[in-house]
């Protein structure tokens, strides 16, 4: 086993595919084959995937209902020198999946915790959404009931970071409707459905457009999905959007980027560097 752990116990936190089995990493496969036991969220769910990779390591159930009681038991086994891998039904354990208490307890007990990275639906969606990815907030599942959900979106509507949500297909239509009424129909968003699978769909639009689309096409209310919402535009971005962008676009049509940004800065009073960065973005999009 790598990581020079010798005979010491270690907890491996192993990400598994979110749909496409080709996304299983060779390292994940090896670790899962070599550990003493795999703690799996749902042993029946994981068994076919493990069979597919010819992994015959014994399984033990570790899910949200027994995490509390199983954690001391697994810590004892780790202290006894066992190597244990934690997996969830799909993707990265702990990301909206069990494992936090176990990882925390293992670290507190001085046991090595070794991440074996791989797919995570939130990050996979972000990587293909085309929304700003320099700052983002992973929000997990919004509340299931309308009143709580609206209050929750109300707290998030001023956030300037890209917001990432998981949502159940049965609730996506009403969730989008609440987003429209609280965050606004014009906010840019992306719906990423069935990622890495046969019917993968990544659709961008305003919240209003996505809401209509999902409402009128029941296929969009199936499978697994991630919803991403553009953060609130900062004052600078709003300024750019309304007034200065027009000036910049007119100048860009006639002049090189640097010159257009410099002239636009003189006309609008916005800093040249910021306009230059924005102009670069506009030029990229035109390509």
Residue numbers of the site for ligand SAM (CB under 6 A)? 18-19, 88, 90-92, 95-97, 120-122, 166-167, 192-197, 224-226
CB of 242 to ligand SAM, least distance (A): 35
Please say whether the beta carbons of 165 and 141 come within 8 A.
Answer: yes
Of residues 14 and 120, the one with the C-beta less far from ligand SAM = 120
Of residues 103 and 195, the one with the C-beta less far from ligand SAM = 195
CB of 108 to ligand SAM, least distance (A): 23
Of residues 36 and 42, the one with the C-beta less far from ligand SAM = 42
- Beta strand 188-193 with 201-206: parallel, antiparallel or unpaired? antiparallel
Radius of gyration in angstroms for the set of CA atoms belonging to the chain, rounded to a whole number: 24
Q: How far apart are CA 204 and CA 241, in angstroms?
A: 19
> Phi-psi region for residue 270, left (φ > 0), alpha (ψ -120 to 50) or beta?
beta
CB of 227 to ligand SAM, least distance (A): 8
Of residues 227 and 252, the one with the C-beta less far from ligand SAM = 227
Q: In whole angstroms, how far apart are CA 113 and each of 35, 80, 99, 108, 228? A: 13, 15, 12, 10, 31
Of residues 79 and 96, the one with the C-beta less far from ligand SAM = 96
Of residues 121 and 180, the one with the C-beta less far from ligand SAM = 121
CB of 193 to ligand SAM, least distance (A): 6
CB of 282 to ligand SAM, least distance (A): 31
CB of 169 to ligand SAM, least distance (A): 8
Of residues 83 and 193, the one with the C-beta less far from ligand SAM = 193
CB of 138 to ligand SAM, least distance (A): 10
């Amino acid at each position: 086993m790598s990581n020079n752990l010798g005979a010491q116990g270690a907890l491996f936190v192993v990400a598994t595919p979110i749909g496409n089995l080709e996304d299983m990493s060779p390292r994940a496969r090896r670790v899962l084959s070599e550990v003493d036991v795999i703690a799996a969220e749902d042993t029946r769910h994981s068994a076919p995937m493990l069979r597919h990779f010819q992994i015959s390591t014994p399984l033990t159930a570790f899910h949200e209902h027994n995490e509390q009681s199983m954690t001391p038991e697994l810590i004892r086994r780790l202290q006894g020198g066992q190597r244990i891998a934690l997996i969830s039904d799909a993707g990265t354990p702990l990301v909206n999946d069990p494992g936090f208490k176990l990882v925390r307890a293992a670290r507190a007990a001085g046991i090595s915790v070794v991440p074996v990275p791989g797919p995570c639906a939130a990050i996979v969606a972000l990587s293909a959404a085309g929304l700003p990815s320099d700052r983002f907030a992973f929000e997990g599942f919004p509340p299931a009931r309308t009143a709580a959900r609206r209050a929750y979106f109300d707290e998030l509507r001023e956030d300037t970071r890209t917001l990432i949500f998981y949502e159940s297909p049965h609730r996506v239509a009403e969730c989008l409707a609440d987003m429209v009424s609280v965050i606004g129909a014009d906010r840019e968003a992306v719906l990423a459905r069935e990622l890495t699978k046969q019917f993968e769909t990544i659709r961008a639009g305003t919240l209003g457009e996505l809401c209509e689309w999902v409402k009128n096409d029941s296929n969009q209310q199936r499978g697994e999905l991630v919803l991403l919402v553009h953060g609130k535009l900062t004052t600078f971005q709003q300024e750019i959007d309304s007034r200065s962008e027009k000036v910049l676009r007119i100048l860009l049509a006639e002049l090189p980027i640097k010159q257009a940004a410099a002239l636009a800065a003189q006309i609008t009073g916005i800093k040249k560097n910021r306009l230059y960065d924005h102009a670069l973005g506009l030029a990229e999009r035109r390509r």
